[in-house]
Amino acid sequence: MPPSWKRRQRLKRRASPGDAVAGLAERARRSCGVGCQPARRLRRAWCAIFVGGLLILAACTAPVAAQRAVPESNAQIQLSFAPVVRIAAPAVVNIYSRRVVTTAGSPLFNDPFFRRFFGENFSFGAPRQRVQNSLGSGVIVSPDGTIVTNHHVVGGADEITVVLADKREFAAKLLGSDEHSDLAVLKVDTGGESLPYIEFRDSDTVQVGDLVLAIGNPFGVGQTVTSGIVSAQARTAVGISDLNFFIQTDAAINPGNSGGALIDMSGRLIGINTAIYSQSGGSIGIGFAVPSNMVHSVVASFSGGGRRLQRPWLGAWGRPVTSDVAQALGLRRPTGVLIEEVAEDGPAERAGIRVGDVILGVNDQSVDDPQALLYRIATLGAASSADVELWRKGEDRRVTLPVRAAPEDPPRNAIDLQGVQPLSGATVANLSPALADELGSERFYRGVVVLSVAPGSNADQIGLQRGDRILSVNGEDVSSSSGLRKQVGRRAQHWQIIVGRGDQRFNLVFGD
């Protein structure tokens, strides 16, 4: 007996969505016969196309859902970073440094008033000495025992000990240390034995989102591996060192990781872990590493036997391009460095770079700000020239920049200033492009610069700092370090000294 009309409706409602779609398609196909009216045929044809599209979409999305599946083999369950760690971990070392620190006595007894009555050899409140230890990590980058670490791990150390992953200990020799990139290069005597090492990878090929591992010795607990991704590239507004250009990662980095390795999934070195952003002292997922291209450049320079790092010199200075400047110059977006000063006979002038040009890139690598430009120039290494992209008068231009080190002209002629006068305890030298680069100066100034200040000395008490320029003494301009020594060697009742610090000037006045 055929079901009633209501019964048929219930059966239809219980039909599966697939049956409904198939039935709709079949009805659309049958209704498009020859006897159909044109409007009805068109309407039902569109309906058939719509239903067919739904069927195609379902077929396309089915494989995506099928990709999310339970592991089907023991090998899939046991996937890990262990093979990569096994390659790289033996080349990551612990570094222990030791130095004797001299603490000044009471500054009261360094006052010229007391010196006048008790003499220059007065020793009451004499400086005391104490031993300061430091812990960090390092990376073997050559089988002959060349190791790279951070400058702040070994800077000023009297003794450096390197402990390998297999617990062997070596006394290390400091080949060179660069405060501006916060990198130092060590060497251990292996007795002819080849040590495990990590190969460099071009850090410009690293992309945000790449998986990375950080290896080091956090808090001195022993060698530790953490994983994460590259969170950002080309971080320049960090303020960690003079050459601000870092790889940012969320791999856990803590005190003791400094100088350790940041590696890719092939076990190659992409950076040296340097610093973290933290309010508590522990990792919160924001760590920074010096890119391997900078590391390779520093290692190559110090491995050649030179104690002083000589970087390529641009011979030009500028400022970031703001939105207003970009609009005025016809740039599509605010990027590059607007050149404001060009050194006479420097590489930039020889390349034809002028004041008002905007440097957009170096060797096809974009430049967004002055820090990025300094990094690109510093990593040119032993290249003889570089291709520089400029924006000038609304047009893109390319020039060839000759690569050469900053000249030390005039010679620095470092002098220690002594005697009963305000600058006593300061070491000064003649400024040159090479010395300005060594001091991390963004511009090249001429004259006499302060190289160091002895703790507790007169120069320290008046606030003199490394990098300050002595412009004049008692109304006489200072032109050389030897001339400054003569000027402060004259006895005077009153002293007026003008000091330059960056673009600022300070007028210091002293008297009895």
Q: Which residues are catalytic?
A: 152, 182, 258
Task: Work out the number of other CB atoms within 10 angstroms of the CB of residue 214.
Answer: 28
Alpha helices in 89-239 (DSSP H): 112-118, 151-154
Task: Work out the number of other CB atoms within 10 angstroms of the CB of residue 40.
Answer: 11
What does the alpha-carbon distance between residue 228 and residue 271 come to, in Å, rounded to a whole number?
Answer: 14
Buried (b) or exposed (e) across 228-245, using 16+ Cβ within 10 A? bebbebbbbebebbbbbb
What does the alpha-carbon distance between residue 388 and residue 167 come to, in Å, rounded to a whole number?
Answer: 48
At residue 64, φ and ψ (nearest 5 deg) are -65, -45
Q: Which of 402, 237, 391, 410 is nearest to 314 (CA)?
A: 402
**Helix, strand, coil share (%) of the chain residues, nearest 5:** 30, 30, 40
Q: Do the bridges between strand 385-392 and strand 358-362 make them parallel or antiparallel, or are there none, so unpaired? A: antiparallel
What does the alpha-carbon distance between residue 138 and residue 147 come to, in Å, rounded to a whole number?
Answer: 6
For 469, residues 6+ apart whose C-beta sits below 8 A from its C-beta are: 431, 445, 447, 448, 449, 450, 499, 500, 501
Q: How remote is the C-alpha of 90 from its chain's centroid?
A: 25
Taking the alpha carbons at both ends of the chain, their separation in whole angstroms is: 127
Query: From residue 439, how far is each of 95, 387, 409, 426 by CA, in Å?
Result: 26, 27, 15, 15
Give yes or no for a contact between 139 and 147, defined as CB atoms under 8 angstroms apart.
yes
What does the alpha-carbon distance between residue 351 and residue 210 come to, in Å, rounded to a whole number?
Answer: 37
What does the alpha-carbon distance between residue 55 and residue 223 come to, in Å, rounded to a whole number?
Answer: 56
Buried (b) or exposed (e) across 298-313, using 16+ Cβ within 10 A? bbebbbeeeeebebbb
Give yes or no for a contact between 481 and 413, defined as CB atoms under 8 angstroms apart.
yes
Q: Do the bridges between strand 169-178 and strand 128-142 make them parallel or antiparallel, or are there none, so unpaired? A: unpaired
